[in-house]
Structure 1
């Protein structure tokens, strides 16, 4: 089958689909990943076809979260997604942010399935993952709030307007978010979640067709080798701590880097930083660019990160303690899971991050052996899972 995976977002929203796409290719399918231009190399180095999507998600995320920046990005994105309807494809696999692909699949007359990296389906087990609600609203309240995010035009008027425009451009009749959601539920639209059920147990109140499969591990770039400077740094002393703040780090690289260096010195730790600046900061701190987390994380003593879903999974797989520094969106949810699993001390919301707080959390993660013991036990079980297999089986059945 000709499969198009729609991976909208930044690096962490695209990388897991390279691993999933490779498994589908091994099963005999033709795989294309639609992603923004900055992540083309990530896709093609995995031997998969890249379909460029217009717009820059980082601009929308760093534009002070303004409605105008978000709307401009959304308009570009919708135009790019609508263009997929002109391709020859037999199946669309949609990430959370690629949900408008449902309209594209309808226009093409082909099936679609969800391949989500966040558990956004309504449940009483936890509050909506992609909302401002970070505390439980009770089982009924949690479910109701999550469902409103799907059904209510008030929840996202900009998105609803873009969806209406998109359907008109595709020659589809107008509809409402509530109608779309009810249609999706009545047909038990399948959604596979690329996260371990050990990290997020499948909610018992989910309907059939919603599955948590296990992680889809990103591919390493073909022929990748570690920079000799990084390799020599790792070998030159005790295992360092890793500190990284994800795709947004480049916006204030100098400030974030200085904060991390001061924290590492207070904690008496060596460090590898992914905070936007590269090169030697001192004898015991090295700044790096993109380095495969599956190679780097097992070589460090702790991982302090923004709690993006992919970075969270990589840390779990590596079996090292975490320090959770969530920034936005789904990141507080993943931070809460790391704490609940006992592999991280109390999270530090990014807006409250200081060198002293980061140093204290790093020291706790490194010196308390219980964090490492629990992390290693969890890693052994998660690494044994095959998260891609259920998706491949579902595609083969089509």
Structure 2
């Protein structure tokens, strides 16, 4: 069966689907992964077919940031969505029997799948269905909130998303000769199957989710068979005690300020650090600092004493898998949600939002994380649970149901 996985965004939005794709291939399916062109090598080196989606997520972030007004920023995003809809259509047209879609492009993907008469399935890296049990990722939370507040916030977020996509979806329906919707629904129908690629040990499946909504366990990124650790990194790791990792992934904050904050905190805390430059182009200088580029977290994180990161979904999962304590420094979107979850799970101190990060509070938090064994013991315990999951198995089972139903939803 020809399976297409559609995702959009940063590296963290793509990498987990390489592992899921490999598992689907091992089960005998033909798998293509549609993602932005900057991730073509990431996909192909893992043995998957790459189908190009237009746009560059880094340039999108920069363009929206530089927009002179909220309306201008909205126009930039609308143009991006229009191009993305065309890209998803072309990717499906290249040969697809079942479409799997990440959360971001899901509204587009569902319409395109309907246009081609093929079944589709949600494969989400973050909770994407409203629940009474917790507020939706991306929703600021202050103080105590009730179950009613949580479900209302989740529905409001879906309604805002529907409004954001409405014009683009109308144009996409017209291009695919689909009947116009009377109004864009504020989310997928309850009978549309969705798999969430995180562990139930991290977020137990809410009791009020529809029966077709699942928590499967993580889909771990696949590692390129050609990858070898740089000699400089191996030498650095062997030259002293385990360092801490510092990286903010696809975030693009003021890197000049971060240089100084990270360098000072590493020195004051008396630790060594491996710093991943990322989109922020971090490059702090210090005798006990090594700056590196992209590399597999499944190799690097188990060799760290702790990981300081932006609490993106993928990096959060990698840290949990490695069994090392975290210091979450959230910036936006779902990151505060994951940062709070890490603290609640007992593997991290209180989060340090990036706009509040200073050399003093990072130093103090590093020491509180590393002094004593409480965080590491809990991280070790949780890692055993996370590693025991078989995330792709549920996806494979649902694919079999969709195929057996000849496109009918289970």
Q: So what's the TM-score if we normalise by structure 2?
A: 0.91
Counterpart in 1 of 2:239? 236
Q: 1:326 to 1:280 in 2, by over 3 A?
A: closer
Which deviates further from its counterpart, 386-395 or 54-63? 54-63
- Shift of residue 180 of structure 1? 6.9
CA change 1:209–1:10 in 2 (3 A) is same
| From 113, 116, 123, the counterpart of 2:121 | 113
Q: 8 Å contact 1:324–1:347 — kept in the other structure?
A: yes
Counterpart contact for 1:195–1:313, Cα < 8 Å: yes
The residue aligned with 2:147 is 139
Q: Does 1:341 align with 2:345?
A: yes
CA distance in 2, matches of 1:177, 1:135: 34
- How has the CA–CA distance of structure 1 residues 247 and 108 changed in structure 2, closer, same or farther, with 3 Å as cutoff? same
The answer (yes or no) to whether the contact 2:162–2:185 under 8 Å persists in 1 is no
Which residue, 172, 177, 185 being the options, matches 1:166? Answer: 172
**Aligned residue runs from structure 1 range 51-66, under 5 A:** 51-62=51-62, 63-64=64-65, 66=73
User: Does the CA contact (< 8 Å) of 2:247 and 2:309 recur in 1?
Assistant: yes
Return the match for 1:259 from 238, 252, 261.
261
Name 1:129's counterpart in structure 2: 137
Equivalent position to 1:247, from 246, 250, 255 = 250
| 1:104 to partner: Cα distance | 0.6
The Cα RMSD (Å) is: 1.9
CA deviation after TM superposition for structure 1 residue 223, in Å = 1.5
Query: Does the Cα contact within 8 Å between 1:272 and 1:288 map onto a contact in 2?
Result: yes
How far, CA to CA, are the matches of 1:210 and 1:360 in structure 2?
Answer: 41
Quick one: which of 292, 304, 308 aligns to 1:300?
Answer: 304
My pick for the range that moved more, 343-352 or 129-138, is 129-138
Tell me which residue corresponds to 2:407.
none
Asked if residue 204 in structure 1 is aligned to residue 207 in structure 2, the reply is: yes
CA deviations 1:174-233 (Å, max 9, x no partner) are: 115554747x22xx1110110000001110111101110100000011221000000100
Of the structure 1 ranges 305-314 and 258-267, higher mean CA displacement relative to structure 2 is found in 258-267
Instruction: Give the SS at the match of 1:197.
Output: coil
- 1:155 shift after superposition: 5.0
| 1:375 lines up with 2:382 in the alignment | no
Normalised by the length of structure 1, the TM-score is 0.94
Alpha-carbon distance, 1:80 to partner: 1.1
State the partner residue of 1:14. Answer: 14
In structure 2, what is the equivalent of residue 77 of structure 1?
84
1:26-54, Cα deviation, whole Å (9 max, x unpaired)? 00000000000111111101000000100
Give CA deviations for 1:84-107 in whole Å, capped at 9, x if unaligned: 342221100010012110001000
Rounded Cα–Cα distance in structure 2 between residues aligned with 1:265 and 1:27? 49
Q: 1:136 to 1:81 in 2, by over 3 A?
A: farther
Structure 2 distance, partners of 1:279, 1:230, is: 15
Structure 1 portions without partners, runs of 5+:
none
Shift of 1:282: 2.8
Q: Residues of 1 paired with 2:47 and 2:247: CA distance? A: 27
Query: Which of 318, 335, 340 is equivalent to 2:322?
Result: 318
SS of equivalent residue, structure 1 residue 323: strand
Deviation of 1:72 (Å): 2.8
